[in-house]
């Protein structure tokens, strides 16, 4: 995530995990224990996650992608069914729908929140619709009250793609503490990490048992030597090494979130300049209560900028600053074009997909780092703005 810089200042990546010495030592102890795959640390991590989610059943997995696929399978969703989701997300969100044999149905985003536009969802519901997968882009929660009212009205399951919103809240409640299925990711770029990994919050122990079966080849064990397989599962278990990293990360969540919010406030302050206001640079929603500020994303002013996004990113890189793209519009990938989608289907998502830019944001950053990014971005935009 970093690269050499010719500048006096060190290279500033768009994200970097913070892992303390106690966690590193804990991982060493796990490695020395000889029990490095799924074991007591996974159980302990699941217990802590369940506690965080208000006592709901939680099962840990090796990614935040398989969690959504397993939720769909537990919900009985497959061939002949449709699942409504957003075209502005990591492609895994819709790939899992294809994986279970169902059809993803995209609905455009709200250009302000950049989340699924719930006002457009009802028009996309058909007799084949079985579920909605909303995404909390950059950690900003989708309106849960409106979402679940819609799901209840049409008898739909909800699989919350909360990969980016661990630590966010809605109406004072932690994401994961209520609702239907909730899928978290603990990838290296997330607010807390297990290096690779994820978790699925479930509604009851029966669903949790099914999740365990899907997690490891459908196997059910009994006694010393009893084994049965009742369904086709996969190889999705989390390791004890990864779980120990997660156990070390969890106690720092509130601290990380507070620092992210402080850095986001600094971005709003330092990007509020006459030159950037005139340019039309779009900032995210200024939510300092509910969002965990997983990412700070701007949308570049396409019509007022002589450069393409890649050129802006190249100039930031030359200044020793990393950036990212989260995300291109899913329906414009070749796979999805072959399934019938085309440019112009979802104009808000397409505009964001062409112009969204993720700026550095992680707990080890300082206000001076934010100022460095803001100054560089303003300089690039001002020097290349259409007159």
Q: What is the pLDDT of residue 7?
A: 55
Contact 301, 279 (CB under 8 A): yes
Peptide bond into 94 cis (omega under 30): no
Note the maximum CA span of the chain: 76
Q: Which value, to the nearest 10 degrees, does the dihedral of the CA atoms of residues 181, 141, 47, 251 take?
A: 170
Domains of the chain: 21-250 (3.40.640.10), 253-383 (3.90.1150.10)
Catalytic residue among 43, 48, 152, 190: 190
Average pLDDT of each block of 10 consecutive residues along the chain (387 residues)? 60 98 98 96 98 98 98 98 98 98 98 98 98 98 98 98 98 98 98 98 98 97 96 97 98 98 98 95 98 98 96 98 98 98 98 98 98 98 93
Give the residue from 175, 140, 139 showing the smallest Cα distance to 158.
175
Give the C-alpha separation, 348 to 292, whole Å.
Answer: 24
pTM equals 0.96
Active site residue 48: no
Beta-bridged to residue 129, according to DSSP, are 82
């Amino acid at each position: 995530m970093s690269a050499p810089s010719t500048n006096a200042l060190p290279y500033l990546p768009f994200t970097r995990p913070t892992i303390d010495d106690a966690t590193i030592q804990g991982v060493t102890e796990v490695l020395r224990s000889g029990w490095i795959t799924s074991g007591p640390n996974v159980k302990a991590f699941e217990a802590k996650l369940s506690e965080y989610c208000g006592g709901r059943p939680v099962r840990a997995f090796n990614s935040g992608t398989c969690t959504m696929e397993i939720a769909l399978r537990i919900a009985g969703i497959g061939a002949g069914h449709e699942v409504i989701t957003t075209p502005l997300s990591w492609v895994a969100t819709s790939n899992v729908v294809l994986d279970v044999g169902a059809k993803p149905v995209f609905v455009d985003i709200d250009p302000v929140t950049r989340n699924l536009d719930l006002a457009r969802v009802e028009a996309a519901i058909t007799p084949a619709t079985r579920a909605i997968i909303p995404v909390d882009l950059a950690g900003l929660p989708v309106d849960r009250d409106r979402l679940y009212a819609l799901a209840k009205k049409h008898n739909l399951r909800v699989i919350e793609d909360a990969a980016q919103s661990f630590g966010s809240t809605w109406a004072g409640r932690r994401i994961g503490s209520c609702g239907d299925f909730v899928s978290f990711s603990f990838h290296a770029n997330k607010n807390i990490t297990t290096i690779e990994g994820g978790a699925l919050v479930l509604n009851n122990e029966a669903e949790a048992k099914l999740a365990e079966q899907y997690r490891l080849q459908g196997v059910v064990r009994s006694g010393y030597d009893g084994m049965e397989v009742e369904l086709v599962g996969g190889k999705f278990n989390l390791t004890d090494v990864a779980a120990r990293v997660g156990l070390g990360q969890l106690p720092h969540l509130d601290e990380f979130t507070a620092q992210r919010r402080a850095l986001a406030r600094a971005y709003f302050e330092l990007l509020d300049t006459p030159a950037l206001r005139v340019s039309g640079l779009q900032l995210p929603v200024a939510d300092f209560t509910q969002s965990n500020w997983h990412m700070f994303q701007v949308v570049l002013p396409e019509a007022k900028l002589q450069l393409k996004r890649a050129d802006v990113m190249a100039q930031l890189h030359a200044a020793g600053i990393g950036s990212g793209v989260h995300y291109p519009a899913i329906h414009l990938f070749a796979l999805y074009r072959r399934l019938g989608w085309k440019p112009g289907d979802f104009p808000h998502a397409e505009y964001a997909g062409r112009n969204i830019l993720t700026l550095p944001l992680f707990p080890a950053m300082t206000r001076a780092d934010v100022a460095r990014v803001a100054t560089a971005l303003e300089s690039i935009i001002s020097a290349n703005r259409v007159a």
